Structure 1
């Protein structure tokens, strides 16, 4: 493994110093080279162009400190490689170590939000001065019990099964990382089971119900258009609400056929997405406006709009409890029912993990089971 000190230019004009841990590369089945790197951001900064003796001295001092940290990290690696135990590592504060692991996910975009949400509960349960060596099996069981019986959401209600599953897994990943890096002589997680992942019900509209909804009157035309657009594209409320015309690209392919796609950053994950949309979805939007204009001007999240979606559904003869997010579920189910494969639907919805999309596949399977009993029984 190569451990090197590197710099990254920030928008502030300063240079951020970080350590890169290069663990080599692999070539996948398609011949693509993938590099395995980890990063440790030191929270040390250099002036890119020092203007006076003071800034030059600050750069010199900061660079020296960063190089000293690099030397320590290189020594730690040698100690770990040759099984020389560093007795100071287990005395590091556990909350500080968790923060470091969380920040690594921020740079690599690996479930940072979930790590951050789990940290809020960990801060409530874990003493501030708890060291890594004090993370015992009893401590782990205690935190699991806390998530299960005491932890609440910001609204004051208990955590859902999937939230317990997610938060405990981030906590567990942190401990596993500490074990891999030599903070523990044995893994304190051994023999402790985590939470089972729960299956949440995802309400959706069938094709006929969506058709009925289109024909029914909605008190707020912009809300109706936005909801139908989400049903055809799978966009979340947050992404529909902030969508601007500059993110909608209308182009032609090599054969001269027009097509439309949206290039945007997901509000939830901050990931850049490229989403192709149908001609019908584009037609719902009407005449193009200025590039900086919101597509759905005047749309806003409110209890009034939420109540109108329910009332609108009732006018369409739909008795299900429909929310705006059901439009996203509707898109997923309709795509699967009409032949799209699971991987494509997962990418279409911007899911990070395929298992998130597999819930919809189960819904489609259940509809197939229902369809098997539609044929009347023969009189045999």
Structure 2
């Protein structure tokens, strides 16, 4: 019967490293080499000097015992895969791995960048605690935006990044990297109602007429304004998703954000924007990057004579607003946008009400 004992090895800085002594040794699943020592990559202080170091030891030893129990179960089941898996010991690395599962999510990548900006490149799991999580929340609420130091990130952006951080905490807990699920203790950042940037019809026409240094960005922007597609869905769109015949074309695709399968009718005119069809598995917007959108959108707006804050996502808002203004029912718009909740779509009715009020105030009569 295989025996497993917990042992320690002195290392630098007055600490000791914990490892499992396995006897008789077990064979590496790939190389066949016999392995007796399995290091847990967890360290404690030999002589803790203060309360912080004492608390560190208490929490780490709990984790050591937990990992030992995990390995015992593996060994009893003759599952030695843990010998070939490099277990992530750093939370920042784990956060990046979670973001990489969503390669088309700009917000996930930015959430990781902000966390790295907050704590540096590395934060061992053992150093992740509730105060650190709260400090990151405060950091998001107060720190200037990366790359645009003259303005802070918006409250809603901070909320989005913190939600992704909390999701990562929960994933780390579910995967046994940490023993406490801090995500259940952390308050989210409350969203504030914002002004949704959009283009009036004449402004959208000006964009269509104006020169853009990137035809790919221009094509993507106009397509979004005519369909309401998000950038992530535009980036993933392949020619095989477009089906039908003249007068009855439609797109069948899975939304990147929600994962929902969608059926979307499109006009022949909208299809013309996309150009000559290619092989089914080829991307419709091959090579498009959000960095290019950031680079070329502002000059394109300037060429169109539009001087207001506007992002690529504003094309989606433009679609919804113009559809609502033209009389399309809010239920139809909600379905076209792929909203799960009608209340999300109802935000656009406030935009229309605001625009209507502004227009009515411009009508003035002089009379005695």
Superposition TM-score tier, normalisation by shorter sequence: 0.5 to 0.7
Q: Identify which of 187, 191, 196 aligns with 1:202.
A: 196
> 1:203, 1:329 within 8 Å by CA — same for their partners in 2?
yes
Aligned to 1:48: none
After TM superposition, the structure 1 = structure 2 runs for residues 247-262 of structure 1, keeping only pairs within 5 Å, are 247-251=241-245, 258-262=247-251
The runs of 5 or more residues in structure 2 that have no matched partner are: 1-26, 31-60, 68-88
Q: Identify which of 218, 228, 241 aligns with 2:211.
A: 218
Q: Identify which of 235, 240, 243 aligns with 2:229.
A: 235
Aligned to 1:166: 160
After TM superposition, the structure 1 = structure 2 runs for residues 83-122 of structure 1, keeping only pairs within 5 Å, are 88=62, 118=111, 121=114
Q: Give the distance between the partners of 2:195 and 2:64, measured in 1 at CA.
A: 43
RMSD: 5.5
Q: Identify which of 325, 328, 332 aligns with 2:316.
A: 328
Q: Identify which of 128, 136, 143 aligns with 1:143.
A: 136
Matched position secondary structure for 1:196: coil
Q: Deviations over 1:270-292 (max 9, x none)?
A: 76543221343234445545545
Shift in CA distance, 308/100, structure 1 to aligned 2, threshold 3 Å: closer
Q: Deviations over 1:90-126 (max 9, x none)?
A: 9979x8899999999999x9x9986775456556549
> 2:253, 2:263 within 8 Å by CA — same for their partners in 1?
yes
> 1:309, 1:323 within 8 Å by CA — same for their partners in 2?
no
Q: Give the distance between the partners of 1:98 and 1:358, measured in 2 at CA.
A: 38
**How far has the Cα of 1:261 moved from its partner?**
1.2
Aligned to 1:50: none
> 1:234, 1:348 within 8 Å by CA — same for their partners in 2?
yes
**How far has the Cα of 1:195 moved from its partner?**
2.8
Structure with bigger gyration radius: 2
Q: TM-score, normalised by structure 2?
A: 0.53
The answer to whether structure 1 residue 367 and structure 2 residue 360 are counterparts is no
Q: Give the distance between the partners of 1:313 and 1:307, measured in 2 at CA.
A: 10
Q: TM-score, normalised by structure 1?
A: 0.51
Aligned to 1:277: 266
Matched position secondary structure for 1:276: strand
Matched position secondary structure for 2:304: helix
Q: Give the distance between the partners of 2:206 and 2:266, measured in 1 at CA.
A: 22
Matched position secondary structure for 1:205: coil
> 2:99, 2:109 within 8 Å by CA — same for their partners in 1?
no
Number of residue pairs the alignment of both structures matches: 285
Q: Identify which of 307, 310, 313 aligns with 2:301.
A: 310
The runs of 5 or more residues in structure 1 that have no matched partner are: 1-53, 59-86, 253-257
